[in-house]
Amino acid sequence: MRKKVSSGAVCIAAAFLAFQCLTVSAAEITLGETNAGYYWWQRTTGFSTYTDDGFNYGDANGYIISRNDYQYYGGSDRYFYRADAFFQIDISSVSGQEIQSAALNFYLISYSSDSPTNLMHLTTQTAAPTGDAAQQIAGDTAVAASDTFVSGWNSIDVTDQIKSDITNGYGYAVFSIPKFAQTQDINRVMVIAGPKTDYDDGSGPTKPYLSVTVPEPASMLILAAGGLLAAKIRKRQ
């Protein structure tokens, strides 16, 4: 006598088979030279009053900077130098895909601060990013505190943020690192290797990039075939 196999068991078996065959591909989305940069503001007051500001896609070395320097020399003699870092990452190549993981990778060259700032993600894009960091679009949701960063390579999990951007149909994922809180007579600075840098720590290039893993198309076909098989058996039963 043949033992009847339940459709539920078939579904589980089909799903298990599909999972065993599931493979993923990893993609690296590099940042172009205009996808990162920093806005700075410098002001000296007192005996030589001076103000200046502007946007750079990287300093002379191609470094991206977040900083807040404030020195008080007495009376009206003060010095300020502040900078906010901005990033826009083209995610059009993974648009519509169900990504499994995503990480923002950047190389921290130096970090001097006794107080953290944050890597911020722009969750709600009221102004459409163009990919040009000179828009100075800042993030609105904290992803990671800077005191968790390490010298050298950092890989920050931004899976939820990239998934959200894809779901919302955004063409660019936007991140920023705002300046540190102000403290008198303390210089706080973070220096990151940017897309324009030639800096090499001896192991290779240090330009920032987004790493993404997505299911291979063949794996998705296997998953679909497993579902069709289960549905066909249920119909027969």
Residue 131 in this model has a pLDDT that exceeds 50: yes
Q: Is 236 in the same domain as 143? A: no
Q: Where are the alpha helices (DSSP H) in the chain?
A: 7-21, 159-167, 217-236
pLDDT of residue 26: 82
Which residues touch 126 (CB under 8 Å, ≥6 apart)? none
Question: Which tens digits make up the pLDDT trace of 186-220?
Answer: 899 999 999 999 999 998 999 999 999 998 664 44
pLDDT of residue 49: 84
Cα–Cα distance list, 154 to 177, 179, 210 (Å): 14, 19, 11
Q: Is 19 in the same domain as 114? A: no
Q: Is 13 in the same domain as 69? A: no
Say if CB 117 and CB 189 are below 8 A apart.
no
pLDDT of residue 36: 98
Q: Is 203 in the same domain as 227? A: no
Which residues touch 184 (CB under 8 Å, ≥6 apart)? 70, 71, 72
Question: Which tens digits make up the pLDDT trace of 148-164?
Answer: 999 999 999 999 999 99
- As for how many domains the chain has, the answer is 2
Residue 2 in this model has a pLDDT that exceeds 80: no
Which comes out higher in pLDDT, residue 38 or 2? 38
Report d(CA 28, CA 33) in Å as an integer: 16
CATH code of residue 81: 2.60.120
Q: Is 123 in the same domain as 12? A: no
Question: Which tens digits make up the pLDDT trace of 120-130?
Answer: 999 999 999 99
Q: Is 96 in the same domain as 129? A: yes
Q: Is 37 in the same domain as 141? A: yes
- What pTM value is reported for the model? 0.81
Residue 107 in this model has a pLDDT that exceeds 70: yes
What is the span of the domain harbouring residue 220? Answer: 1-23+216-237
Q: Is 73 in the same domain as 180? A: yes
Question: Which tens digits make up the pLDDT trace of 43-87?
Answer: 998 777 889 999 999 999 999 999 999 999 888 888 999 999 999
What average pLDDT does the chain have?
A: 85
Q: Is 194 in the same domain as 234? A: no
- CA atoms within 13 Å, Cβ hemisphere of 45: 9
**Residue 21 pLDDT level (bands cut at 50, 70, 90):** very low
pLDDT of residue 6: 53
> What tokens does 53 get?
């500001």
Report d(CA 192, CA 39) in Å as an integer: 14
Report d(CA 192, CA 194) in Å as an integer: 6
Q: Is 16 in the same domain as 94? A: no
- CA atoms within 13 Å, Cβ hemisphere of 216: 10
Q: Is 159 in the same domain as 232? A: no
Residue 138 in this model has a pLDDT that exceeds 70: yes
Q: Is 156 in the same domain as 169? A: yes
